[in-house]
Chain A
Amino acid sequence: MLKIWVLRHLQVSLASLGRLVRLPLSTLMTSAVIGIALSLPTGMHVALGHLQAISGGWDGAATISLFLKQDVQAKAAKQLVQKLATKPNIATVEFISREAALEEFRQLSGFGEALDALNSNPLPALLVIKPTSEQSDPISTQQLIKELEQLSEADLVQLDMQWVRRFHALTEIAQRGVFVLASLLGLAVLLIIGNTIRLEIQNRHAEIEISKLIGATNAFIRRPFLYTGFWYGLFGGIIACLMVNLSILTLDDSVGQLASLYHSSFSLSLIDTTTVFALLTGSSLLGLIGSWISVGRHLSAIEPS
């Protein structure tokens, strides 16, 4: 009995597939509309993924500025540098002496003459500390900052990470945007499939009526339409996948050129398998739900007479 049931499902699914294949143009058009609708959020999701991959590198670039107290002598500072450099969570420590800081400030700020008027150097010595890449997440970094603040030589510890945070906040918003867009376009896909199935039900009015006359259950009549919806969804998903990958391949050359101008070897990669899987599952599910809604609404209206 179960074997027959599985066989029937297989037959119905293949029959609906065959029906779609026999009308390649209209099938392609409907699937393409679904594909375009789905490719937009998918493309944006992939683009965001790439942006996050780039900014992931920036997290490691976050540095901590440790300003030493005015009375710390150069020798003591050098010792501190050596002590910190051996710590496991610190990658590099760079010492900028008061003189070097003054020199840099003189060159970059253009207040050179004003500085000459001062009796003493107002600038503190500075250690630029870069945490190891494993320890560069916000929590570990915060921990490190606390540790550094405990040092008796430390005057002020500052994290130069504000802009990275802002960037993260922006990508967060973009991510929500993609989600909203995906929801709206998912709704559009539901409507497209629902409407396509509605037309299909109208076209097969006679068949439905006769099937009901000879004792077909609603589930039996519903089945081919659900499979049709499923196939439309799946085809749409595949088309979306192809379109996004095609766009990536088209853009890859120019992105590579841009990256090389920044001395980066960054290049776009095709959609990863998880996303492909999620996209195809999601689109098939949308197809199924869309046809389910449509079938539920329109099938009961057809009664034999």
Chain B
Amino acid sequence: MAEKVIEVNNLFKIFGKNPEEAFPLIEKGLSKEEILEKTGNTVGVNDVSFTVNKGEIFVVMGLSGSGKSTLIRCINRLMEPNRGEILIEDTDVSKLSKEELMNFRKEKFGMVFQHFGLLPYRTVQKNVEYGLEVKKVKPSTRKKRAREAIKKVGLEGWEDQKPQNLSGGMKQRVGLARALAVDPDIFLMDEPFSALDPLIKKEMQDQLLELYEEVKKTTIFITHDLNEALKVGDKIAIMKAGKIVQMGSQEEILTNAANDYVRDFVKDVDRSRVLKARDIMIKPKTLLKPDQGEGPRTAIHKMRENEISSIIVVDKDKKVMGILKIEEALKILQNKDDENLKKYIKEIPRVDPGDTMDDMFAQIAELDIPLPVVDKNDELMGIIIKSNVLSNLAPEKVI
């Protein structure tokens, strides 16, 4: 499953007349500014290593000047890296000859640009055909595949328009279709949605994810927007001054910021839209299992022991049956109604592990009982209680 597609090892890109001069200084640990002052060379990418697995969206995030655009351009060698390996399915891109590189780009990469990079003198159809034209695909096949790609991004009927007649969002759809048409193994997306206004941006992100549900392409996605990174990324790397300062899954980035730089990013994130039920759920301290002969007395005992006022009841398959409150349990004892335990168990709402906190707010607000998180088979995965919701909403972890 986790098949490595891209592996980058110790990549360096230094701009300037004598890049080699900068290496000893980098080794000494001097900062980007100091190196610029001493040698006149700018460090673009500084010792970057990462791997991307098949079908993964690897997001590189950073402010402008952090080297993220340089990094993506080194991958397909629009910029020549100074040192380091770029292995794409065991081919070292940095060692390819000009000719080999040309053919490699044709087969492997589809690139999407921040300002779309559309050819203004070509129609939408012809723009989308470009990659195929370069590959010398037959005109009839070319046309067909371009039309399919245009259809996928929802631009049917616009084939004969010039890019100047399209809105920003539509232009980027053309850019996307152009990359889709060649059906590459790897997508390189350089801030594809950064030039779009927020509403269109959200729409495009949704569409991208929708497209990815059909075919998951290995992707390197550059952005400066953490919300976008968290939305589309499977794995996120945060760059600063040419270095990757932290790399990990969404939760890792959000919950364990490696340093102040990352913390500054994370601070502004609307966590309620990012954190999902599965990220904030906790393991229930205890459960009531009537199928194992546990009755109201066990329930009261368990609740007292754990200082809780209600207990989730599950059957032998761990399926949630409902909740038993302490008052109800006491009532059973008063009425001596042990056989009808099921009558006292209350039905409760459940949430999906993929629901964001935003989705769950209505339920959480009225929460005085735990909210069970269940999978497709109604099996209990964890619970959400008010206190951990609140602690997760706070920008810094409150302990």
A binds B: no
Interface residues of B (CB under 8 A from A): none
Interface residues of A (CB under 8 A from B): none
